[in-house]
């Protein structure tokens, strides 16, 4: 008896010690676990979604791509398929599938480590919500504790809903709603049996069973799930056979390529500054943008198609060394921006040919010389300071010298060799001889023709009369925000600006003097639909409508008669200006119709020449025209509205005076009322040059 009693107390003591130790260990584990009550505020990481102006999804930002779904919106077939393959005893057990757990225990015991799960749906959820993915006995015990707590706190339906919103389906899809949209392009509630069975098979091995990567294996996995569903009585034999006969019917054959990446990145930078990265990537913001997806796709297509042709025509790509021993292909680059001139809303924006190759946004970040595309700002200042469309400008060689304070025109001098010694500066860089294309000059020309054919000397002489400090505020009021230097080369567009600035400035012409700031976000909502931010057009009337109409009328001439002739293929009223810089480094075309304003820039990032005669009219204008033709295909053909305060008069192109009965080729010119000519052109002697040579069709 003494021995038995002693053994009893020894065993009892050991068991008591084990029980106490287990209790203490359990208490330790429980204290280390997060409180289950945090799920009352269950807010998983949600993707921020960007929509175009018509409500179409453009893009998402996320650490986990997820859209919340309620259980009532998850098809019963999907629920049954998931239960059939993941946890057949889900509605019977108290959180732990003992049969599956025992099977996993035996396998793990034999191997001496955790290699098989056997976890119930509730266990998987506890692991996803609270635990790290490593496989250890300690983590498994914590998982069991959390599982029991989950089952005690929530109903089976609530657990199932959290599971469907938390589980990873592969291809960047977290949660069933994101998976349904990525794989089948539809909300989860519209999934059919075949689609439900396929998705239910993904969570255990998302990559191995991915229909994008392994379509045959995905079909085999789907068949396994359908068989399990039939055996459990969820579907009939006929349903199984009929569904197995169906192809995958994926929404796309691979993950979608990014749409409007430069535009989204432009907005992302603004949003991250305002809301922070945590909110932006995990907060499920709904961003409603100004972008029109149809126009955006057209912009990207036309930029890539035309520049690919350009590369082939120029025997490109050429190679450039980027770092020691590294040779990279250098492609010609391009950018396009399109705005609604009435609101400033960005309708399309592409900052390069490939965002994956270069994230540098050439529409908003690249400052380049606009060349002659800057001249309209000079002529706007001229119209506001005594000039008219029929003002006569002498197109002749000129020489300027810098006296240490400013550039001065040397009177009666057409060549720097003619400068008298007392006026000749010591430094050759203090002598400037602006030149026209091909160094040809045409004598007296009308202001209209000077702009239409982009005569450099005429622009310089107008700027010289008005002075750069007077002109710069005009450009700034129109929308140019980049620094501008008050020098004479301002007339030739040597100050660097962005494409977005140029398009915004031309929008002010289109909008009859009302400046609207470009913007891309209409409103921002949280996941519950609460409006966090709402943006409206910011309008400011800065110029009077008659002057703006004169500019539009002059810029129509660039399209109809001048360097922008290619844009006539648009077959509707349009105005615009070409731009080309020295050595054909940059090619521009900024143009507009009553409905849209758009601009195109083409060039190399390293400022390499595009090639001889590769001007704005040759390279950029065709891209603009093709884009605008597609963008406006469904729009009415409208003419530019004529504001009050405008008078039209028939003009003799040889004199700039009112046309007489003898005038040939008279044209209708717009004037600010009261400023039109009063003298008739009765004289037959030719006063101004009207014949501009063919080389100006190249568009400078």
Q: What tokens appear for 142 in the block?
A: 């914590």
Q: Tell me which residue has tokens 């106490």.
A: 20
Q: Which of 60, 86, 177, 452 is catalytic?
A: 86
Q: What tokens appear for 335 in the block?
A: 């950018």
Residue 568 contacts residue 591 (beta carbons within 8 Å): no
Rounded CA separation 340/640 (Å): 15
- How far from chain centre, in Å, is Cα 235? 46
**Torsion-angle region of residue 318: left (phi > 0), alpha (psi -120 to 50) or beta?**
beta
CA-based angle 640:642:646, to the nearest 5? Answer: 140
**Would residue 372 show up in a list of annotated catalytic residues for this protein?**
yes
Residue 477 CB partners (closer than 8 Å, separation 6+): 508, 515, 542, 543
Type and span of the H or E element at 407: strand 407-409
Rounded CA separation 534/20 (Å): 61
Residue 483 CB partners (closer than 8 Å, separation 6+): 495
Residue 89 CB partners (closer than 8 Å, separation 6+): 97, 99, 100, 120
Long-range contacts of 478-481 (CB under 8 A, 24+ apart): 478/377, 478/380, 478/504, 478/505, 478/506, 478/508, 478/509, 478/515, 478/542, 479/504, 479/505, 479/507, 479/508, 479/515, 479/517, 480/377, 480/505
- How far from chain centre, in Å, is Cα 247? 35
Residue 371 contacts residue 492 (beta carbons within 8 Å): yes
> Which of helix, strand or coil describes residue 602?
strand
Rounded CA separation 686/689 (Å): 8
**Would residue 70 show up in a list of annotated catalytic residues for this protein?**
no
Rounded CA separation 450/226 (Å): 76
Helices and strands (DSSP H and E) totals, the chain: 20, 24
Burial of 244 (0-12, 13-18, 19+ CB in 10 A): middle
Q: Name the residue among 581, 240, 263 with its Cα closest to residue 437.
A: 581
Q: What tokens appear for 110 in the block?
A: 């034999």
Rounded CA separation 376/615 (Å): 18
Residue 658 contacts residue 669 (beta carbons within 8 Å): no
Q: What tokens appear for 36 in the block?
A: 């289950």
Rounded CA separation 375/489 (Å): 11
Q: Which of 372, 388, 454, 681 is catalytic?
A: 372
Catalytic residue set? 86, 372
């Amino acid at each position: 008896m003494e021995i038995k009693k002693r053994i009893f107390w020894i065993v009892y003591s050991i068991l008591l010690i084990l029980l106490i130790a287990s209790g203490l260990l359990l208490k330790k584990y429980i204290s280390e676990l997060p409180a289950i009550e945090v799920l009352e505020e269950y807010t998983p990481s949600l993707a921020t979604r960007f929509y175009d102006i018509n409500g179409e999804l453009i893009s998402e930002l996320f650490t986990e791509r997820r859209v919340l779904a309620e259980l009532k919106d998850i098809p019963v077939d999907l629920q049954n398929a998931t239960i059939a393959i993941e946890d057949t005893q889900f509605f019977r057990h108290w959180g732990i599938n003992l049969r599956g757990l025992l099977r996993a225990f035996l396998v793990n015991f034999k191997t001496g480590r955790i290699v098989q799960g056997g976890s119930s749906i509730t266990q998987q959820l506890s692991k996803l919500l609270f635990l790290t993915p490593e496989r250890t006995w300690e983590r498994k015990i914590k998982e069991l504790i959390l599982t029991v707590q989950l089952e005690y706190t929530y109903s089976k339906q609530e657990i199932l809903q959290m599971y469907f919103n938390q589980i990873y389906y592969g291809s960047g899809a977290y949660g069933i709603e994101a998976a349904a949209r990525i794989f089948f392009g539809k909300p989860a509630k519209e999934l059919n049996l075949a689609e439900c069975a396929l998705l239910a098979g993904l969570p255990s091995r998302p990559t191995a069973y991915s229909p994008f990567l392994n379509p045959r294996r995905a079909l085999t996995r789907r068949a396994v799930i359908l068989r399990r569903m039939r055996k459990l009585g969820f579907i009939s034999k006929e349903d199984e056979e009929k569904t197995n006969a169906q192809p995958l019917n994926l929404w796309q054959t691979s993950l979608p390529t990014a749409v409007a990446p430069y535009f989204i990145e432009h907005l992302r930078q603004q949003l991250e500054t305002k809301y922070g990265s945590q909110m932006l990537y995990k907060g499920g913001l709904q961003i409603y943008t100004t972008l029109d997806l149809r126009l955006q796709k057209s912009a990207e297509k036309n930029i890539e198609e035309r520049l690919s042709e350009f590369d082939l025509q120029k025997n490109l790509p050429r190679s450039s060394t980027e770092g020691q021993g590294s040779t990279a292909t250098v492609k010609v680059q391009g950018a396009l921006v399109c705005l609604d001139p009435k609101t400033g809303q960005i309708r399309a924006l592409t900052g390069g040919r490939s965002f994956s190759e270069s994230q540098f946004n050439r529409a908003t970040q690249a400052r380049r010389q606009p060349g002659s595309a800057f001249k309209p700002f000079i002529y706007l200042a001229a119209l506001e300071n005594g000039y008219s469309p029929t003002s006569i400008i002498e197109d002749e060689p000129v020489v300027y010298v810098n006296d240490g304070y400013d550039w001065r025109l040397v009177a009666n001098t057409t060549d720097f060799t003619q400068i008298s010694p007392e006026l000749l500066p010591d430094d050759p860089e203090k002598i400037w001889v602006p030149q026209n294309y091909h160094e040809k000059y045409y004598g007296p020309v009308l202001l209209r023709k000077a702009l239409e054919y982009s005569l450099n000397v005429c622009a310089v002489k107008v700027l010289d009369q008005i002075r750069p400090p007077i002109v710069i505020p005009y450009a700034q009021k129109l929308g140019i925000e980049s620094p501008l230097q008050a020098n004479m080369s301002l007339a030739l567009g040597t100050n660097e600006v962005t494409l977005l600035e140029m398009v915004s400035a031309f929008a002010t012409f289109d909008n009859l003097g009302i400046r609207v700031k470009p913007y891309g976000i209409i409103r921002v909502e949280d996941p519950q639909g609460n409006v966090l931010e709402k943006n409206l057009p910011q309008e400011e009337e800065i110029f009077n409508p008659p002057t703006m109409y004169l500019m539009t009328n002059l810029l129509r001439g660039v399209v109809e008669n001048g360097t922008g002739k290619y844009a006539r293929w648009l077959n509707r009223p349009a105005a615009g200006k070409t731009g080309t810089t020295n050595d054909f480094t940059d090619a521009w075309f900024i143009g507009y119709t009553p409905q849209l304003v758009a601009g195109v820039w083409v060039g190399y990032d390293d400022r390499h020449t595009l090639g001889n005669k590769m001007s704005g009219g040759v390279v950029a204008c065709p891209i603009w025209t093709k884009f605008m033709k597609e963008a406006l295909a469904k729009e009415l053909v409208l003419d530019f509205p004529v504001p009050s305060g405008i008078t039209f008069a028939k003009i003799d192109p040889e004199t700039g005076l009112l046309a007489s009965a003898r005038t040939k080729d008279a044209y209708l010119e717009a004037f600010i009322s009261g400023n039109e000519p009063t003298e008739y052109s009765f004289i037959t002697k030719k006063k101004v040059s009207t014949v501009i040579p063919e080389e100006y069709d190249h568009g400078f």
